[in-house]
Amino acid sequence: MVKYAILCEKASAAKNFAAALGGMQGNFEGNSYVIVAGSGHLLTLVEPEEMVDESMADKYSSWSPNEMPWDSSKLSWKKRPIVYKGMDGKKRSRATDLAKLKKNTMDAEIMVIATDVDPSGEGELLAWEIIDAINWKRPVYRMYFSDEAAPSIHKSFREMKDVSDKNKDGDYVKAEARNRFDYLSMQLTRLATTYARQTGYPIKSARQGRLKSVIVRHIFEQEDAIKNYKKTPFYEVKFKDEFGNMFARKVKDDEAEGIRFLSKTDGAADMQKFGPSGITDIKKTRKSSAPGALLELSGLASILATKGYPAKEVLATYQKMYEDQVVSYPRTEDKFISNEQFNEMSSKVNQIANLVGVDTSLLTHRTARKTHVKDGGAHGANRPGSVVPKSLAELSKYGKSAEIIYTTLAKNFLAMYGEDYIYDSISARLEKYPTFVTSFTVPVELNFKRIFDTSNETKVKDDEEVEAGTKGIGTMANPFLFEGANKKPTKPSMKWIMAYLSKYNVGTGATRTGTLAEISSGKNAMLSEKKGTLKLTETGAITAIMAEGTWISSVTITKQLFDAMNDVGEFKKPTQYIIDIADKIIAHDKQLMAKNSSKLVKVLGKPKAKDTFVEKPKTEGTVNGEVIKFNEVWGGHTFTEQEKKSLLAGEVIEIEYVTAKKKKARCKGSLQKQSYKGKEFWGFKPDFSK
């Protein structure tokens, strides 16, 4: 009998596995097992200065632009147990958890990775970190499951695969490559922060990263477009029939010469060329459309944001609901559900409908739609889970947004059981002026739209949108002078930014939502979010300005980076390929950030005097064979080149400085190794006795 050690990602997952298999340890279908759990990541990469030879430690710990880019080939990629604060406020190390895991798996013959099957490979990464840390040398298998319900766990137990060589485990290789890219990109944060500080801005951290920089920069550009928007009226001849249908020439903004006029007088003169006209070429076509796609987590979050629920709240609440199998796996990148999942859920359709107030008589399309059901995914798209709550009220234990999360997700899912939306597409043109046309749709049968309309819920609506006519086409149309204006840029919102990222297929729905939650939370937030509307904080604006023109903020290059990471996971490219990309991005973006810092004052104005922070320039030299650095400024005095040489030679110099009371004074001093809060440094030390 083989004994398996089943490694879950955290205690809540271990609880579900125990419920499915019959306990934290025991026997399942003739195989012995014990279930153990981590607590998310137990290890982290050490600080840069700990990854290199001691002689290079100062260079890799420095935030000085002169010390970057790093030579990534010198990094050891060493990891250590995470140190964290417990509930009592005391610091603890995950080394204790690792020791416990090692002890509890000693008798097992095969380690089984049962962490989340995450599209980013994160579950694989944290599992292999643990396996390596406890020095496991025996076989390693992998369980692939769509959720933590018993049927899925049973199936994954029977079909587990041997992944004993981690370098052949694509999910791990992909995740480790991403992990190393993110680590190297901390240089961009250091560069942006340092350059901003040198300009006088007291920013704590101008965080840059492969998705956050894209988001912040795009929002900044939109805010800038709104700020600089100037309404420019134009005048154009249009026609209107007796039912209010508008007839106009199809024209693009850059091709409107001779049709649109900046002068009302010129527009009125153009209208003299036209008179009433009959309507012809009337066409009426009966059409249909299928229900919208199943929601990604980002789509769900953007809908809920307009109702006052921030991304952080939605993420946390959804995760708790998933752990109790009330909703499906959150971090999926699947857009479809499998035939097996469709069949499993079909028996619960009426129960779910009654719970969320959907009329079951609308749910007549009980066969699988090709637009929604397709095999090949890992978890299936976001949807209600296998456990249907007895009431919506009981969901409040998961969080404030739980009820609306479930209701929205359920209605979106139920819509695919509704019949297609039926409508008439109507078009016509003017008899005397055939370039003037109209077209609109008239609903015939709403069907699934009475349940949930995904496109309507997730669409970024234009402020100028108007409802089309529904009374049919008239018989005669008359000209009038239409007054329009150039379109005002849309306000940044959750829906707007999610639509942008989705358009370029950058990140999964969960990654987008997680990143928005991260950068809109905490004291160093780059965004504020209010009912789905996004606004940059000063920190966000500084970060965005520093990122202008950079590769890290380019949505195109970010898409290429995500694709390259997928290629690494499929062994089409080596991990070094991602590291090389990181090196190129940092070298390229450093030059731009240096230039961009000069734009801060122009765009944001001078920083407040009391908040001004200026990074002190440093001088490098040698003292007794040791390479050291020290501040070039002390007490308001900037050392001359001769004074620097004297200090490095160990000589005492005399300088004029400014006291705390803003008075000028003189003192003598020398270069000394000193200590501040337990950290040693070299600097000028005055000797006031002299």
Question: What is the reported pLDDT for 615?
Answer: 62
Q: Is residue 634 part of a domain?
A: yes
Q: Is residue 112 part of a domain?
A: no
- Amino acid at site 339: N
Residue 222, token pair as written in the block? 């939109």
Question: What is the reported pLDDT for 612?
Answer: 54
CA distance 602 to 595: 13
Provide the edge-to-edge strand list for the sheet that holds 653-658: 653-658, 664-676, 679-687
pLDDT in tens, 310-367: 999 999 999 999 999 999 999 888 899 999 999 999 999 999 999 999 999 999 999 9
**In the structure, what pLDDT confidence band is assigned to residue 613 with cuts at 50, 70 and 90?**
low
Torsion of CA 183, 184, 190, 193, to 10 degrees: -80
pLDDT, average across residues 220-224: 97
**473 and 426 housed in the same domain:** yes
Question: What is the reported pLDDT for 528?
Answer: 94
**454 and 515 housed in the same domain:** no
Q: Is residue 366 part of a domain?
A: yes
CA distance 120 to 173: 10
pLDDT in tens, 370-380: 999 998 888 99
Instruction: Report the Cα–Cα distance between both ends of the chain, in Å, rounded.
Output: 83
pLDDT in tens, 9-23: 999 999 999 999 999
Q: How far is CA 245 from CA 306, 342, 426, 463, 465, in A?
A: 32, 43, 11, 20, 14
| Number of C-beta neighbours around residue 592 at 10 A | 18
Integer-rounded Cα Rg, in Å, for the chain is 32
Torsion of CA 646, 650, 656, 660, to 10 degrees: 140
Percent of the chain clearing pLDDT 90 (strictly above): 81
**255 and 302 housed in the same domain:** no
**622 and 552 housed in the same domain:** no
**301 and 341 housed in the same domain:** yes
pLDDT, average across residues 443-469: 78
Question: What is the reported pLDDT for 469?
Answer: 52
Give the number of C-alpha atoms closer than 13 A to the C-alpha of residue 581, restricted to the C-beta side. 25
**In the structure, what pLDDT confidence band is assigned to residue 213 with cuts at 50, 70 and 90?**
very high
Torsion of CA 73, 124, 113, 377, to 10 degrees: -150
| Number of C-beta neighbours around residue 485 at 10 A | 11
* DSSP-H helix ranges across 105-149: 122-133
CA distance 233 to 483: 7
Q: Is residue 31 part of a domain?
A: no
Least confident of 74-83, 218-227, 250-259: 250-259
Predicted model pTM: 0.84
Whether the Cβ atoms of residue 504 and residue 293 lie closer than 8 Å to each other: no
Q: Is residue 59 part of a domain?
A: no
**Residue 456 sits in a domain of what CATH number?**
2.70.20
CA distance 404 to 414: 15
**208 and 354 housed in the same domain:** no
pLDDT in tens, 137-168: 999 999 999 889 899 999 999 999 999 999 99
- Exposed e or buried b for every residue in 177-190, given b needs 16+ CB within 10 A? bbbbbebbbbbbbb
Q: Is residue 66 part of a domain?
A: no
Three-class SS state of 492: coil
- Amino acid at site 483: E
Q: Which of 546, 580, 604 is the last residue of a domain?
A: 604
| Number of C-beta neighbours around residue 17 at 10 A | 23
CA distance 497 to 353: 31
CA distance 677 to 4: 49
When divided into structural domains, the chain yields a total of: 4
pLDDT in tens, 392-408: 999 999 999 999 999 99
Residue 163, token pair as written in the block? 């992944």
pLDDT, average across residues 118-122: 90
- Whether the per-residue pLDDT at 661 is higher than 80: the answer is no
Q: Which of 563, 581, 604 is the last residue of a domain?
A: 604
Question: What is the reported pLDDT for 417?
Answer: 97
Question: What is the reported pLDDT for 690?
Answer: 61
Question: What is the reported pLDDT for 609?
Answer: 60
Q: Is residue 512 part of a domain?
A: yes
Nearest Cα to Cα of residue 157 among 26, 41, 38, 40 = 26
**286 and 427 housed in the same domain:** yes
**558 and 478 housed in the same domain:** no
CA distance 487 to 500: 18
**516 and 592 housed in the same domain:** yes
**381 and 318 housed in the same domain:** yes
- Amino acid at site 516: L
Residue-number span of the structural domain to which 623 is assigned? 616-687
pLDDT in tens, 31-61: 999 999 999 999 999 999 999 998 899 899 9
**Residue 325 sits in a domain of what CATH number?**
1.10.290.10
**In the structure, what pLDDT confidence band is assigned to residue 466 with cuts at 50, 70 and 90?**
very low
Quick one: 538 exposed, middle or buried, by C-beta within 10 A (0-12, 13-18, 19+)? middle
Least confident of 129-133, 585-589, 616-620: 616-620
Question: What is the reported pLDDT for 316?
Answer: 94
Q: Which of 397, 417, 437 is the last residue of a domain?
A: 417
Average pLDDT, the chain: 92
- Whether the per-residue pLDDT at 465 is higher than 50: the answer is no
**313 and 392 housed in the same domain:** yes
Nearest Cα to Cα of residue 406 among 300, 294, 292 = 300
Q: Is residue 357 part of a domain?
A: yes
CA distance 363 to 200: 62
Backbone angles phi, psi at 487, to 5 degrees: -70, 135
**394 and 410 housed in the same domain:** yes
- Tell me which residue has tokens 């209600």: 384
